[in-house]
């Protein structure tokens, strides 16, 4: 008997009116995976931390199990290659 389906811990940093953020959220929702969204519209400290961590000042910034995988274009490219689903189904790192 198979155990319950596990999903990675997915966190997406976004801003309010970002079309790429909306696309990323839709892609993840269509995959049926739970994810947490953190709005950084009015949070310059977190934006600065993300820039330091990822080297990018754009949103969305998506992390899977604590590892940056980039933004919408990046996860869409992973999805086209068939590499996104395996990442989304990795058990969270304790």
- pLDDT at 2 (0 to 100): 41
**42 close to 94: Cβ distance less than 8 angstroms:** no
Is 10-88 assigned to CATH 3.40.50.300?
no
pLDDT the model gives residue 6: 78
Q: How confident is the model at residue 1 (pLDDT cuts 50, 70, 90)?
A: very low
Count other Cβ atoms within 10 Å, centred on residue 92. Answer: 12
pTM: 0.91
Domain boundaries, the chain: 10-88
Integer CA distances (angstroms), 49 to 5, 13, 32, in order: 32, 11, 29
pLDDT in tens, 30-85: 999 999 999 999 999 999 999 999 999 999 999 999 999 999 999 999 999 999 99
């Amino acid at each position: 008997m198979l155990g319950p389906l596990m999903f990675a811990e997915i966190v997406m940093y976004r801003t309010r009116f970002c079309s790429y953020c909306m696309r990323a959220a839709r892609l993840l929702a269509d995959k049926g995976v739970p994810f947490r969204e953190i709005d950084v519209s009015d949070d310059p400290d977190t934006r600065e931390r993300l820039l330091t961590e990822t080297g990018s000042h754009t949103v969305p910034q998506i992390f899977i199990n604590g590892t940056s995988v980039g933004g919408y274009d990046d996860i869409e490219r992973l999805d086209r290659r068939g590499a996104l689903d395996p990442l989304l189904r990795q058990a969270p790192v304790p």
